[in-house]
Structure 1
Amino acid sequence: MTKQNTTIFDTKATALAADEQFRPGEQDGYDGEQYDREDRAALRRVAGLSTELEDITEVEYRQLRLERVVLAAVWTDGSQEEADNSMRELAALAETAGSTVLAGVVQRRTHPDASTYLGKGKAQELRDIVIAEGADTVIADTELTPSQRRALEDVVKVKVIDRTALILDIFAQHAKSKEGKAQVELAQMQYLLPRLRGWGESMSRQAGGQVGAGQGMGSRGPGETKIELDRRRINQRMAKLRREIKDMKTGRDTRRLARKANAVPSVAIAGYTNAGKSSLLNRLTDAGVLVQNQLFATLDPTVRRAETEDGRVYTLADTVGFVRQLPTQLVEAFRSTLEEVGDADLLLHVVDGSHPDPEGQISAVRAVLADVDAADVKEIIVVNKADAADPEVLDRLRRHEKHSVIVSARTGEGLDELRALIAEELPRPTIDVDVLLPYDRGDLVSRLHDEADVISSEHTQDGTHVKARVHPDLASELAAYAA
């Protein structure tokens, strides 16, 4: 059955700005010092200055440029509300990348057309919409095969990109650290490699040896085509990026091991993009990281120090946000960064309580966490944006997710309850020790007060008599001083 219906909805109202209470600069609450905002806003795109060729066959070799776009999606299963939510998310992604969304088209089909994604008739209708709206780009709400993209471009006569290319473009814009830039470049090349294609002279063999000087001996042979040369160079660059990322991972692993050696518990903040993870980090630690009503505003992990009410030190790590259909290339490229989540003692899974489908967000995040071997980390569901959410939705989430807390990073609601829950869930020392420490081992006394639960401490003639509950590593060092 291939019955087809087309639904067109106007998206001229900004998808991100529709959430009025979370507009940057217009909040009544506190989001921390915005150290990166000026840098992020210092460079703006200027439309209409492009001198690129209009030959559609060159799209793979042009810089991704999003200006006036029309969205297209095939709705194969689920409810219409789910399909509309997916399109709204695609519109928000497009706006984050710097484009203006003019219209959206959703087609009901049992499966996407193998040739043109939408089907030839509907693709022609899409072409009419592109002309009427004056669009220069079509964005598909899934990852297209290279042949689907070329065939759809041949019909609509403008550039066609897919959801994966769009997300990669956003990551490329927002990557700031050396590691983040390397991870994004690796993901882009993994995406580009199977999509390279040649035409004209790029399919001819390259001459070698001394043929350029008129001497043919030693130069006769098949040589490389330009597309083969491009593939080889991309593979070489990918190998180099993997080595660089591996080296940078070593440094982060060293810092993580140092924290573990000092028995500092770690808490990771993860969740759907734009759920308010960075706002929560700022509230809990005064980290001063960028907070912006924008998808994938945070790419580089931030680790900050925090303390429980009873003085126990722990670390909080902010991570990259997730999204439905997160490209596999990005999951693979950011695997080393996402290991911060897998190695954490506790996971704060932040959910946007004001989103139309928070349960869908939770499922999408848990699917990615399973991919990076972080599904077994102890989890607290933190339902954020409570001040903007429907109370019935909050009640439903609290019933479904037993280990959850309702907060608002903007107003501060529920943060005391969250801090208490973190303190309760953090791992505590488990080994009882009774030691007499000489006065020249003040370092061990200091460590006991920093890392252990001290039950009693008394200064005697022979040293400091301490009863405490400690971690295994510290217990082994204290064994020689048992009282």
Structure 2
Amino acid sequence: MHENEQVAQVPVLIVGLDRNDPQFVYQMTELANLAEANGMQVVDQLTQKLERPVASTYFGKGKVEELKDAVAYHQVNMVVANDELSPSQIRNLETMTGATIMDRTALILDIFASRAQTRMAKLQVNMAQLQYQLPRLRTSLNIRLDQQTGGGGGGFTSRGAGETKLETNRRTIEHQIAMIKKEIVEIQSDEQIRRAHRTKQAIKNVALVGYTNAGKSTIMNQLVQRFGENESKTVFQADMLFATLETAVRKINLPDNQSFLLSDTVGFVSKLPHNLVAAFRATLAEAANADLLLQIVDYSDEHYPDMMATTAQTLKEIGVTDMPMITIYNKADLRPDTSYPDRDGDTLIVSAQDTASIDLLVDVVKQHVFDDLSEATVLIPFNQGEIVSDLNEQASILATEYTENGTQLRVSLTPLQVKRYAEFIVD
């Protein structure tokens, strides 16, 4: 029975305006994938070439008639648009077609709401939803408000009560947004304290970024299972859009005693709603504060150049620019014409499931994040053994010798560690 429920998806039509955007065909394919990720079945699509949307109806008059006929023919109750629509466009299209109109923004917000697990993610999605609803109160909440107040029929008294209820609802939503922002700031403050602590420990931070479902979580889990402090601390991974909304941070301990923190961030998608980008800015702070970015690309998808363009645009929107980045073309095992692992400078071709690919990735990461290491000899008095312990945990020990004056270590140190242990350096 459960399997049958999974198959019984909601039938929908998808529609879009082609404004000579070279990514339009891909965006419509992606819209279909997003709809499927939200439990919908796309039965048909309608598109129209226009320089700009019609202000009142999105489509031109003839295409709206065609959409109305398609709704009746396919017997669907919902239409999903590729753009964010205005309240009047939604209202007019619903009146003219008899179907519920959902725009791309509402669709993505729905998906994010169903995926959010942590308190932070739920707050971020909730805030974006409320910000989306605010200018659409008359359109999307009118019926709901009538139901809540038991209203029925028209008349001046009923309409006045509705207006009052709408204003009350507007103030309620604005208050909710303010409260959510306050709680996000509090959580963000805790995250900043944790990041400051990690910076003080001189631990490098590497962040995975890229398109949704490119394999970021898979690569993270491979590294955690082989080099993590706790191999059970893997993150959720699945062949689905936006499987991960939370930023997970794991410590990776390499065999040579070098270690770094690896962050898995929320995946990107084209035309990601601005409210959502703003809401998730705190979550994406791990990328903004990283020493190195690993851009994961689904090399098996023919649209991967479009996905890379989207990633670049989203990083720019959250203020991540001019940061060292390795581009990793993943899922090479799904391309019979490609050999892997392979490297060309800071570009890798890999399969996350392949051990040799992970080894190559680790080698390239090490070359980047530990390129500022310098060798030094330190002499630690016996009564300061905790420093020896710290170095054993945080640095690569090349040689150890016990002298009459203390423990002498030959170590590789970061610039911050050189400053921290300067008084013990003997050469």
Flag whether TM exceeds 0.5 (same fold): yes
| Aligned-residue offset at 1:259 | 1.8
Distance in 2 (CA, whole Å) between partners of 1:377 and 1:258 is 22
Contact 1:202–1:225 (CA<8 Å) still a contact in 2?
no
User: Which residue of the partner structure matches residue 13 of structure 1?
Assistant: none
Q: 2:185 aligns with which of 242, 246, 265?
A: 246
User: Which residue of the partner structure matches residue 306 of structure 1?
Assistant: 252
Contact 2:257–2:396 (CA<8 Å) still a contact in 1?
no
Q: 1:95 aligns with which of 29, 36, 61?
A: 36
Contact 2:258–2:394 (CA<8 Å) still a contact in 1?
yes
The answer as to 2:384 corresponding to 1:438 is no
Contact 1:202–1:227 (CA<8 Å) still a contact in 2?
no
| Aligned-residue offset at 1:309 | 4.5
Distance in 1 (CA, whole Å) between partners of 2:422 and 2:356 is 46
Give CA deviations for 1:121-174 in whole Å, capped at 9, x if unaligned. 101101111111111100000111111111111111110010000000000000
The answer as to 2:269 corresponding to 1:323 is yes
Q: 2:238 aligns with which of 292, 309, 321?
A: 292
Contact 1:278–1:318 (CA<8 Å) still a contact in 2?
yes
The answer as to 2:78 corresponding to 1:132 is no
* Distance of aligned partners of 1:418 and 1:113 in 2 relative to their CA distance in 1, 3 Å threshold: same
User: Which residue of the partner structure matches residue 61 of structure 1?
Assistant: none
* Distance of aligned partners of 1:202 and 1:242 in 2 relative to their CA distance in 1, 3 Å threshold: farther
When structure 1 is superposed on structure 2, of 440-449 and 126-135 the one drifting more is 440-449
Percent sequence identity over matched residues? 37
User: Which residue of the partner structure matches residue 362 of structure 1?
Assistant: 308
Distance in 2 (CA, whole Å) between partners of 1:183 and 1:140 is 24
Give CA deviations for 1:295-318 in whole Å, capped at 9, x if unaligned. 111111111221335331111111
Distance in 2 (CA, whole Å) between partners of 1:117 and 1:188 is 22
Which consecutive residues of structure 2, in runs of 5 or more, have no partner in the other structure?
A: 144-153, 226-232
Q: 1:204 aligns with which of 160, 168, 171?
A: 160
The answer as to 2:363 corresponding to 1:425 is no
User: Which residue of the partner structure matches residue 228 of structure 2?
Assistant: none
| Aligned-residue offset at 1:111 | 2.0
Distance in 1 (CA, whole Å) between partners of 2:242 and 2:111 is 7
Instruction: Please tell me the residue identity of whatever aligns with 1:246.
Output: V
Aligned residues: 402
User: Which residue of the partner structure matches residue 405 of structure 1?
Assistant: 348
* Distance of aligned partners of 1:416 and 1:475 in 2 relative to their CA distance in 1, 3 Å threshold: closer
Q: 2:174 aligns with which of 235, 258, 267?
A: 235
User: Which residue of the partner structure matches residue 4 of structure 1?
Assistant: none
* Distance of aligned partners of 1:181 and 1:449 in 2 relative to their CA distance in 1, 3 Å threshold: same
* Distance of aligned partners of 1:422 and 1:325 in 2 relative to their CA distance in 1, 3 Å threshold: same
For the residue of structure 2 that corresponds to 1:380, the secondary structure is strand
Structure whose residues are more often helix by fraction: 2
User: Which residue of the partner structure matches residue 462 of structure 1?
Assistant: 405
User: Which residue of the partner structure matches residue 258 of structure 1?
Assistant: 197
Give CA deviations for 1:322-368 in whole Å, capped at 9, x if unaligned. 00000001111111110000111111101111112211111111111
* Distance of aligned partners of 1:482 and 1:297 in 2 relative to their CA distance in 1, 3 Å threshold: closer
The answer as to 2:218 corresponding to 1:279 is yes
Distance in 2 (CA, whole Å) between partners of 1:391 and 1:342 is 35
* Distance of aligned partners of 1:478 and 1:310 in 2 relative to their CA distance in 1, 3 Å threshold: closer
For the residue of structure 2 that corresponds to 1:234, the secondary structure is helix
Distance in 2 (CA, whole Å) between partners of 1:194 and 1:235 is 11
Q: 1:385 aligns with which of 331, 354, 361?
A: 331
User: Which residue of the partner structure matches residue 417 of structure 2?
Assistant: 474
Q: 1:185 aligns with which of 123, 126, 135?
A: 126
When structure 1 is superposed on structure 2, of 150-159 and 256-265 the one drifting more is 256-265
* Distance of aligned partners of 1:119 and 1:433 in 2 relative to their CA distance in 1, 3 Å threshold: same
Runs of 4+ in 1 over 6 A off after TM superposition: 44-47
User: Which residue of the partner structure matches residue 348 of structure 1?
Assistant: 294
Contact 2:215–2:352 (CA<8 Å) still a contact in 1?
yes
TM-score using structure 1 length: 0.77
* Distance of aligned partners of 1:307 and 1:76 in 2 relative to their CA distance in 1, 3 Å threshold: same
User: Which residue of the partner structure matches residue 117 of structure 2?
Assistant: 176
User: Which residue of the partner structure matches residue 213 of structure 1?
Assistant: none
Distance in 2 (CA, whole Å) between partners of 1:390 and 1:164 is 36
| Aligned-residue offset at 1:267 | 1.0
Instruction: Please tell me the residue identity of whatever aligns with 1:90.
Output: L
| Aligned-residue offset at 1:389 | 3.0
Distance in 1 (CA, whole Å) between partners of 2:211 and 2:419 is 41
Distance in 2 (CA, whole Å) between partners of 1:386 and 1:239 is 46
1:36-55 matches, within 5 Å, as none
Instruction: Please tell me the residue identity of whatever aligns with 2:246.
Output: D
Distance in 1 (CA, whole Å) between partners of 2:179 and 2:216 is 32
Distance in 1 (CA, whole Å) between partners of 2:15 and 2:321 is 33
* Distance of aligned partners of 1:351 and 1:133 in 2 relative to their CA distance in 1, 3 Å threshold: same
Instruction: Please tell me the residue identity of whatever aligns with 1:376.
Output: D
Contact 2:131–2:275 (CA<8 Å) still a contact in 1?
yes
Contact 1:309–1:423 (CA<8 Å) still a contact in 2?
no
* Distance of aligned partners of 1:406 and 1:430 in 2 relative to their CA distance in 1, 3 Å threshold: closer
Distance in 1 (CA, whole Å) between partners of 2:118 and 2:158 is 35
Distance in 1 (CA, whole Å) between partners of 2:44 and 2:376 is 68
* Distance of aligned partners of 1:194 and 1:45 in 2 relative to their CA distance in 1, 3 Å threshold: farther
Give CA deviations for 1:27-61 in whole Å, capped at 9, x if unaligned. xxxxxxxxxxxxxx99x6797xxxxxxxxxxxxxx
Contact 2:370–2:414 (CA<8 Å) still a contact in 1?
no
Contact 1:342–1:374 (CA<8 Å) still a contact in 2?
yes
Instruction: Please tell me the residue identity of whatever aligns with 2:119.
Output: K
| Aligned-residue offset at 1:457 | 3.3
User: Which residue of the partner structure matches residue 116 of structure 1?
Assistant: 57
Distance in 1 (CA, whole Å) between partners of 2:421 and 2:354 is 46
Contact 1:345–1:427 (CA<8 Å) still a contact in 2?
no
Distance in 2 (CA, whole Å) between partners of 1:202 and 1:470 is 74
For the residue of structure 1 that corresponds to 2:383, the secondary structure is coil
User: Which residue of the partner structure matches residue 6 of structure 1?
Assistant: none
